[in-house]
Chains A and B, each alone.
Chain A
Amino acid sequence: MAITFKSVDFIYQAHTPFENLSLKDINLTIPDGSYTAIIGHTGSGKSTLIQHVNGLLKPTTGEVVVDDQTITGTTKNKELVHLRQHVGIVFQFPESQLFAESVIEDVKFGPINFGVTNEEAQKRAESALQKVKMPQEFWDKSPFELSGGQMRRVAIAGILATNPKILILDEPTAGLDPQGRREMMELFAELHQKEKLTILLVTHQMDDVANFADNVIVMDRGSVAKIGTPTEVFSDTEWLINHQLGLPSAANFAQKLISHGVQFKKIPLDMGELVDQIINLEGKGNRHE
């Protein structure tokens, strides 16, 4: 499912003294099946942007087109139910949305809301819990007995069980330990490759952008500042650093070498590329004495 924004403006609390323009003239297309990272510092409009994709927020002017459904400022909530079935949003700290008596009941909440039968919901919930690697012994426990990392997985399973075609992730690894973070990112990569989900990832981790995304949107003060492949976006290193966004650690390392006089053909974005290029440097005898 492709997503298109056509000159979207969004004004927060319109017609009040607290009015605030939070999206300005957004025009962009996110292709079907892509893995798009959305970066930008706090308050740049990332969260506002993603809430337009399933109609939680509606554009003040302009329109958002998801697949064949158009959302404008006057779209009724009733018309959005169909859309929300296909767009799953994992909010920041999604564990705060858990409420049911047992893990499995909580995961079934979404599918049942979308009118699926109880048996089908059960099946989907079980398969979603398996995808997030939640051992079966926890399924009947209360979600409030779990650890923070486990709660996060259950919450994500709750979204996956609705069988979304677009999965939106708002800083899904914030507050997880390194292993939890790695497993989580691998799960999303797998969903992208095997189940062909379109993924939108809001993140501050430039390494995740370099390692997983094929498309990057940079937001700045409510507008799209840059859009392109990671290589394109990260090539303008000075701009990124000036906007407090930073670089992937491999590119950062390369930058430091460059400032000491080492020549790189192309800025490496991940560890593999960095290692390859350094080995090549060595081979050519460009070593510094």
Chain B
Amino acid sequence: MNKILFGRYVPGNSFIHKMDPRAKLVLSLLYIIAVFMSNSWLAYGTSFLIAIIIIGSSSIAPKFFWDGVKPLIGVILLTMIIQVFFGVGGQVYWHWGILSITSNGLLNAIYIAIRFILIILVSTVLTLSTSPLEISGAIESLFMPLKKLHFPVYEMALMLSIALRFVPTLIDETEKILNAQRSRGANFSSGSIMTRLKKLVSILIPLFESAFSRAEELATAMEARGYQGGEGRSKYRVLNYTKNDILGTIFMIIATMSVLLLRNWS
């Protein structure tokens, strides 16, 4: 049950850990753009090198990154297969109806797999080195300009942090209900898909019921402590850019520029 990596924060004291979450978020996006712009072996090689440097400076054990990639291997393989069989152009190696294997198709399949893996690796660095609260703080701060357009920034950030906060709670709750129904003889790992789905109802209804009543209790508890929306609230964690952020930004700008320059270079 607790194998979900999403939102699992590994505390640490590395260069990356000490960066401002806003800088990390923006630079991760910059990296993703760089990866999507890559179109040659040299550009991909550089992107790969950047990913290794980022992972290295986070001092997080490689096992965690493998855990991040593992659940998505199926999706990566599926997209690769589609690319291989439906890609067109270049030399044709095999042909049957609308299916064909071509040199371009093969190349694109490999590029897509590399893109996927690089993006997963770097976004895993972000989620592993940044606590969920920091991420929602960063989003709040980055979206602040939208306040002028009457976009509910505070509310959105609060919703996000509450949602993240309750992920482990809901996992525990699910496990508890699962155990209770198992004790009443429910068997969730056998039978046809229809009977399994029917049995799932005995988990989902109690889960919704408790999530709703928890939400109501939380709302009451917040009101009881005088919550009236984000306007004028001060912050416990004040975000500040430091030397690390400047260094990180300079590095990423140079890195992205070199990827862009190496485009079409073959």
A contacts, CB < 8 Å to B: 13, 16, 18, 51, 54, 56, 77-78, 81, 84-85, 87-89, 91, 94, 96-100, 109-110, 113-114, 144, 158-159, 162
Q: Which residue of chain B lies nearest to A93 when distances are taken between CB atoms in the complex? A: B176
Which of B185, B201, B210 neighbours the largest number of chain A CB atoms within 10 Å of its CB?
Answer: B185
What is the CA–CA distance of A208 and B154 in the complex, to the nearest angstrom?
50
B187, A81: Cβ atoms under 8 Å? yes
| A81-B187, A158-B184 known, 13 other contacts, Cβ within 8 Å | A81-B185, A87-B183, A91-B176, A91-B180, A91-B183, A96-B176, A96-B177, A97-B202, A99-B205, A99-B206, A109-B184, A109-B186, A110-B184
Q: Which residue of chain A lies nearest to B184 when distances are taken between CB atoms in the complex? A: A110
A77, B183: Cβ atoms under 8 Å? no
Cβ-based interface call for B181 (8 A) = yes
Which of the residues B2, B180, B187, B189 comes within 8 Å of A97, measured between beta carbons? B180
Q: Which residue of chain A lies nearest to B177 when distances are taken between CB atoms in the complex? A: A97
Known A54-B183, A81-B185, A113-B185; contact A98-B2, beta-carbon cutoff 8 A: no
What is the CA–CA distance of A98 and B177 in the complex, to the nearest angstrom?
9
Min distance, Cβ B120 to any Cβ of chain A, angstroms:
21
Min distance, Cβ A1 to any Cβ of chain B, angstroms:
16
Cβ-based interface call for B231 (8 A) = no
Cβ-based interface call for B182 (8 A) = yes
A51, B185: Cβ atoms under 8 Å? no
What is the CA–CA distance of A34 and B182 in the complex, to the nearest angstrom?
25
Q: Helix, strand, loop or mixed for chain B's interface?
A: helix
B184, A99: Cβ atoms under 8 Å? no
Residues of B close to A113: CB separation below 8 A: 184-187
Which of the residues A78, A98, A110 comes within 8 Å of B185, measured between beta carbons? A110
Known A51-B179, A56-B182; contact A96-B210, beta-carbon cutoff 8 A: yes
> For this complex, into which size category does the number of interface residues on chain B fall?
20 to 34
B206, A88: Cβ atoms under 8 Å? no
B185, A85: Cβ atoms under 8 Å? yes
A89, B183: Cβ atoms under 8 Å? yes
Residues of B close to A77: CB separation below 8 A: 187, 189
Q: 17 A–B contact pairs at CB < 8 A?
A: A13-B2, A56-B179, A56-B182, A81-B187, A84-B185, A91-B176, A96-B173, A97-B181, A97-B184, A97-B202, A97-B206, A99-B203, A99-B206, A99-B209, A113-B184, A113-B185, A113-B186
B186, A88: Cβ atoms under 8 Å? no
Which of B177, B183, B202, B210 neighbours the largest number of chain A CB atoms within 10 Å of its CB?
Answer: B183
Q: Which residue of chain B lies nearest to A144 when distances are taken between CB atoms in the complex? A: B209
Min distance, Cβ A220 to any Cβ of chain B, angstroms:
24
Q: Which residue of chain B lies nearest to A116 when distances are taken between CB atoms in the complex? A: B185
B182, A162: Cβ atoms under 8 Å? no
Residues of A close to B185: CB separation below 8 A: 81, 84-85, 110, 113-114, 162
Which of the residues A54, A84, A98 comes within 8 Å of B206, measured between beta carbons? A98
Min distance, Cβ A260 to any Cβ of chain B, angstroms:
44
